[in-house]
Amino acid sequence: MSLFTLSAPVAEALASGAPVVALESTIITHGMPWPQNLEMARKVEDTVRAEGAVPATIAVLDGQLCIGLDDAQLEKLAQARSVAKLSRADLGVCMAEGRTGATTVAATMIAAALAGIRVFATGGIGGVHQGAEQSFDISADLQELAQTPVTVVCAGAKAILDLPKTLEVLETLGVPVIAYGQDQLPAFWSREAGLRAPLRMDSARAIATAMAMRGALGLPGGQLVANPIPASAEIPRDVLAPVIARANADAEQHGIRGKDLTPYLLQRIFELTEGRSLESNIELVLNNAKLGAQIAAEISALPA
Ligand code: PSU
Ligand code: MN
Determine if residue 139 is labeled as part of a ligand binding site.
yes
Q: Is the CB of 277 under 6 A from ligand 1?
A: no
Burial per residue of 193-209, b for 16 or more beta-carbon CB atoms within 10 angstroms, e otherwise = bebebbebbeebbebbe
Strand partners, 154: 226
pLDDT tens for 129-171 read 989 999 999 999 999 999 999 999 999 988 789 999 999 999 9
Tell me which amino acid residue 214 is: R
Residue whose Cα lies nearest atom 19 of ligand 1: it is 126
Strand partners, 4: 65
Burial class of residue 99, CB neighbours in 10 A (0-12, 13-18, 19+): middle
pLDDT tens for 174-214 read 999 999 999 999 999 999 989 999 999 999 999 999 999 99
pLDDT of residue 304: 75
Kindly report the backbone phi and psi dihedral angles of residue 212, in degrees, each rounded to the nearest multiple of 5, phi listed first: -65, -40
Please report the DSSP string for the chain in residue order: --SEEE-HHHHHHHHHT--EEEE-SHHHHTSS-TTHHHHHHHHHHHHHHHTT-EEEEEEEETTEEEES--HHHHHHHHH-SS-EEE-TTTHHHHHHTT--EEE-HHHHHHHHHHHT--EEE-S----BBTTHHHH--B-HHHHHHHHS--EEEESBS-TTB-HHHHHHHHHHTT--EEEESSSBPPBTTBS--SSB-SEEE--HHHHHHHHHHHHHTT--S-EEEE-PPPGGG---HHHHHHHHHHHHHHHHHTT--GGGHHHHHHHHHHHHTTTHHHHHHHHHHHHHHHHHHHHHHHHHHS--
Q: Is the CB of 28 under 6 A from ligand 1?
A: no
pLDDT of residue 176: 98
Highest mean pLDDT among 1-5, 13-17, 80-84: 13-17
pLDDT tens for 90-112 read 999 999 999 999 999 999 999 99
Rounded to an integer, what is the distance from CA 82 to the centroid of its chain? 20
Residue 237 has pLDDT above 70, yes or no: yes
Domain ranges of the chain: 4-301
Residue 1 has pLDDT above 80, yes or no: no
C-alpha of residue 282 to centroid of ligand 1, in Å? 14
Tell me the best of 77, 83, 105 to mutate to test the pocket of ligand 1, counting ligand atoms within 8 Å of each CB and taking the most. Answer: 105
- The class of domain 4-301 in CATH terms is alpha beta
Average pLDDT value for residue range 47-63:
98
Residue 249 has pLDDT above 70, yes or no: yes
pLDDT of residue 68: 98
pLDDT of residue 303: 87
CB atoms within 10 A of CB 295: 30
The C-alpha torsion from 19 through 43 and 124 to 122, rounded to 10°, is -20
Residue 2 has pLDDT above 90, yes or no: no
Give the C-alpha separation, 118 to 150, whole Å: 5
Contact 57, 6 (CB under 8 A): no
What confidence category does residue 273 fall into, taking pLDDT thresholds of 50, 70 and 90? Answer: very high
Classify residue 274 as left (phi > 0), alpha (psi -120 to 50) or beta.
Answer: left
| CA within 13 Å, CB half, 64 | 13
Give the C-alpha separation, 237 to 242, whole Å: 9
Q: Is the CB of 27 under 6 A from ligand 1?
A: yes
Q: Which residues have a beta carbon within 5 Å of ligand 2, which is an ion?
A: 137
Determine if residue 290 is labeled as part of a ligand binding site.
no
Average pLDDT value for residue range 224-234:
97
Mean pLDDT of all residues belonging to the chain: 96
Q: Is the CB of 281 under 6 A from ligand 1?
A: yes
Q: Could you give the residue numbers annotated as active site?
A: 24, 158
